Amino acid sequence: MFSIDIQYVKGVGPKRAELFSKLGIDSVGALLQFYPRAYIDLQQTLPLSQAPFDAPCAVLGRVVRKLPPARLGGGKTLYKLLATDFTQDFAVVFWQNRFPYESLKEGQDYLFYGKFGGTLTQREINSPLFLPEGERRDLLPVYPLTKGLTSKAVATAVENALAAYGEEIPDPLPAPVQAEYQLCRAGYAVKNIHRPETAQAAQTARRRLIFEELLVLQLGLGSLKKKGREHTDLQIPAADLGPFLQALPYSLTGAQLRCIGEIGGDMAGAVPMNRLLQGDVGSGKTVVAAAAVYRAAQAGVQSALMAPTEILAAQHHRTLEELLRPLGLTVALLTGSMKAAEKRAVLAGLQDGSTDLVVGTHALLGEAVSFAELGLVITDEQHRFGVNQRGALGDKGRAPHVLVMSATPIPRTLALIIYGDLDISVLDEKPAGRREIETFAVGYGRYQRALNFAEKQIAAGHQVYVVCPLIEEGESELESVSAVRDQMAAYLPHRRIGLLHGKMKAREKEAVMAAFSAGELDALCSTTVVEVGVDVPNANLMMIHNADRFGLSALHQLRGRVGRSDCQSYCILLSKSGGEGARKRLQAMCESSDGFALANLDLEMRGPGDFFGAAQHGLPQLKIADLLTDRTTLAETSAVARQLLDEDATLRRWPLLRQAVGRLFSSISENGFN
Ligand code: ADP
Ligand code: MG
């Protein structure tokens, strides 16, 4: 019943159906899940004389007279009515829309809602929402507006759908759960979220719908976790890490040793590891991964590490080869842009088991890739991969151990949801000797001085990153980064200044990165392709153009490209004077170097909708729940999900609930890469 095409809803013609489908609403079920953003309290009516000019409000009025439709140029028609609030007349205007004009009756009273413009003596309202006075409900739903679809159009479609289906709405929530948490029935909830009789009813409906949505989310994540929890016979015994530790050019931090221990413990178990390694930028995640690879190789099984971009894959390959080759391990690189012959050689090494570790991009997921014995799968910067892809690489082995590395610091409670299927290790300590990165937010008036400062760093033997988003509206990223590079080259003609952007071929990008890494370039002007993961310890200045255009987490990631050695590092945030929000963000950057604190602030300022946009983590888009503000419900549903899955992981007793989980997770986009 719920998959009924939206076109069958009364009043939704093909044109409107198309608009709805742009919002992903193609069925009655989806329409009923297009929830109001707020309600207008119609008890709060104003006399016209008090109606503001710049904000909507409700006014009670009587239609006095319909004026004849006026045909204007361009085939447009204006429908106008005269009305009165009994003290003052006003005009009601509809452009090109005969239907409301005809449905309004002379001599009848209506509640008009909208922005009352016009002049002080002749007020006028354009395309208002209106309700006949007798039929008045107190709360009028307001739907998110999109092009071509007004809140009113949505409300009408929803009303018609509700009228057709009444309370015959299937209820996926198990009755015992409803009873225990005092939740209303689905039919009541759907009706009252759209046309509540009272504010209390709307609240009751909301609570139930939020509960349902979060429960379905947690069931989905929970069953992912169960799936990964089969038995494995790849029990990797603790190896002597002595040779590995001795070969390192530094000694590990306490946090690194602790995480290596936690990972080792998992790998020795009969259940495959499924662990998230979280650590702020520069906390040294790579070497922790290397220790796990070393351990796997000692047990004679292979490892694979997947990175989101070719640059990162190439860099990990270099770093890990440096760490592991002296210890006798064979490390290979596999990316999409490699020549066929090179690829074949790598694939052969994986198949015959002579390669211990392969580092690559999602090319590793290719059909031709097979392993002699894949025992450990690592993904870096996990938030760039979709939830669905998390398991894909693991399918190339027999229940291999899985390690996920993420540099997006998020509060633990939220990490538990987003990575609900993973155990978590946290690198909460930076390598010794690191100094705070001195951070300055400056206007373009001081650009010259910033360039002089860059010159000073280069003269002292350091290297400099320059990152540009768009400089001018309408300009391409490429144009703007090239312009910045040329300008800088003109100012510092004796310096070697490289250029890196997303339009370059993978090979060219790699060559530039390698040159920068080897110290053959003094400065690197780039788009945000250097955003995550790149590691060149000798670079000590990060200059960010139009820094006000970035979110806090992105700025922190970018800044994390420097401060990777024991010399003093700097970050210069250039911006034109921006809005209040931007100013606050830049200020926070100057004051804090704690990724977790900044992430929390980012969450507060941007709201979880943006922070947890599907592109960030691959979770399905939520329709009504809010991961931040609905934390109590989150905890409740988490307990219920665990209980239901423990009873029966396939949810056979609750087919409607199982269907809901299936629907939610099939809607996750497959292209989690960005
Ligand atoms: P991230 O956690 O951001 O991925 P990396 O693994 O890239 O960090 O490490 C950052 C830098 O710190 C690298 O240059 C690495 O060699 C260095 N490093 C890692 N661990 C230590 C340590 N214990 N002592 C000193 N330097 C370290
Ligand atoms: Mg990294």
- Read off the pLDDT of residues 231-262 as tens digits, 9 standing for 90 and up: 777 888 888 899 999 999 999 999 999 999 99
pLDDT for position 162: 87
Distance of CA 208 to the CA centre of its chain: 25
pLDDT for position 235: 85
Rounded Cα–Cα distance for residues 421 and 259 (Å): 18
Per-residue burial over 529-539, b = 16 or more CB atoms within 10 Å of its CB, e = otherwise: bbbbbbbbeeb
Residue type, 642: R
Assigned token pair, 230: 């089969």
In this structure, are residues 453 and 541 in contact, taking their beta carbons and an 8 Å threshold? yes
The response to whether residue 281 sits with its C-beta less than 6 Å from ligand 1 reads yes
In the structure, what pLDDT confidence band is assigned to residue 1 with cuts at 50, 70 and 90? very low
Ligand 1: centre distance to CA 399 (Å): 30
Pairing of strands 302-306, 357-360: parallel
The response to whether residue 232 sits with its C-beta less than 6 Å from ligand 1 reads no
Ligand 1: centre distance to CA 638 (Å): 35
Rounded Cα–Cα distance for residues 551 and 558 (Å): 11
In the structure, what pLDDT confidence band is assigned to residue 672 with cuts at 50, 70 and 90? very low
Rounded Cα–Cα distance for residues 576 and 547 (Å): 9
In this structure, are residues 207 and 183 in contact, taking their beta carbons and an 8 Å threshold? yes
The response to whether residue 192 sits with its C-beta less than 6 Å from ligand 1 reads no
The response to whether residue 347 sits with its C-beta less than 6 Å from ligand 1 reads no
Q: What are the residues whose beta carbons fall under 8 Å from the beta carbon of 323, sequence distance 6 or more?
A: 247, 248, 287, 290
Q: What share of the chain is helix, strand, coil (3-state, %, to 5)?
A: 45, 20, 40
**For the residues 645-669, what does the mean pLDDT come to?**
81
pLDDT for position 418: 65
Closest CA to 31 of 55, 47, 7: 7
> Which CA distances in Å does 138 have to 27, 134, 141, 582?
28, 12, 10, 39
The response to whether residue 537 sits with its C-beta less than 6 Å from ligand 1 reads yes
The response to whether residue 252 sits with its C-beta less than 6 Å from ligand 1 reads yes
Closest CA to 140 of 43, 226, 277, 67: 43
The response to whether residue 535 sits with its C-beta less than 6 Å from ligand 1 reads yes
Ligand 2: centre distance to CA 395 (Å): 24
- Over residues 141-173, the pLDDT tens digits come to 878 666 677 777 888 889 888 887 766 788 999
Query: Average per-residue pLDDT in the chain?
Result: 85
Closest protein CA for atom 20 of ligand 1: 284
The response to whether residue 431 sits with its C-beta less than 6 Å from ligand 1 reads yes
The response to whether residue 307 sits with its C-beta less than 6 Å from ligand 1 reads no
**For the residues 56-82, what does the mean pLDDT come to?**
90
* Least confident window among 275-279, 402-406, 669-673: 669-673
Point out the ligand 1 atom lying closest to the alpha carbon of residue 279: 2
Ligand 2: centre distance to CA 239 (Å): 24
Percent above pLDDT 90 for the chain:
45
CATH topology assigned to domain 242-427: Rossmann fold (3.40.50)
The response to whether residue 501 sits with its C-beta less than 6 Å from ligand 1 reads no
Distance of CA 77 to the CA centre of its chain: 44
Pairing of strands 139-142, 274-279: unpaired
pLDDT over 70 at 532, yes or no: no
- CA count, 13 A, side-chain hemisphere, 470: 6
Ligand 2: centre distance to CA 426 (Å): 14
Q: Which residues surround ligand 2, an ion (CB under 5 A)?
A: 533
Closest CA to 70 of 60, 59, 61, 80: 80
Rounded Cα–Cα distance for residues 78 and 127 (Å): 11
Count other C-beta atoms under 10 Å from residue 414's C-beta. Answer: 20
The response to whether residue 282 sits with its C-beta less than 6 Å from ligand 1 reads yes
In this structure, are residues 423 and 275 in contact, taking their beta carbons and an 8 Å threshold? yes
Of 287, 305, 553, the residue with max ligand 1 atoms within 8 A of its CB, to mutate for a pocket test, comes to: 287
pLDDT for position 670: 35
Ligand 2: centre distance to CA 596 (Å): 16
CATH topology assigned to domain 44-136: OB fold (Dihydrolipoamide Acetyltransferase, E2P) (2.40.50)
pLDDT over 70 at 610, yes or no: no
pLDDT for position 506: 78
The response to whether residue 408 sits with its C-beta less than 6 Å from ligand 1 reads no
Domain range list for the chain: 1-42+138-168, 44-136, 172-227+637-674, 242-427, 438-592
pLDDT for position 671: 29
CATH architecture of 438-592: 3-Layer(aba) Sandwich (3.40)
In the structure, what pLDDT confidence band is assigned to residue 69 with cuts at 50, 70 and 90? very high
Rounded Cα–Cα distance for residues 23 and 157 (Å): 14
| Residue tagged 């960010």 (tokens) | 544
- Over residues 489-526, the pLDDT tens digits come to 999 999 999 999 888 887 888 889 889 989 999 999 99
**For the residues 132-139, what does the mean pLDDT come to?**
72
- The DSSP secondary-structure symbol of 182 reads T
The response to whether residue 285 sits with its C-beta less than 6 Å from ligand 1 reads yes
In the structure, what pLDDT confidence band is assigned to residue 375 with cuts at 50, 70 and 90? very high
Residue 416: in which H helix or E strand, if any?
helix 412-418
Closest protein CA for atom 19 of ligand 1: 284
User: What ligand is nearest to the CA atom of residue 318?
Assistant: 1
Coil, helix or strand at residue 440: strand
Rounded Cα–Cα distance for residues 40 and 372 (Å): 64
> Which CA distances in Å does 342 have to 272, 333, 339, 459, 655?
32, 10, 5, 40, 50
Rounded Cα–Cα distance for residues 335 and 313 (Å): 8
242-427 and 438-592, same CATH topology: yes
**For the residues 637-660, what does the mean pLDDT come to?**
91
Ligand 1: centre distance to CA 498 (Å): 24
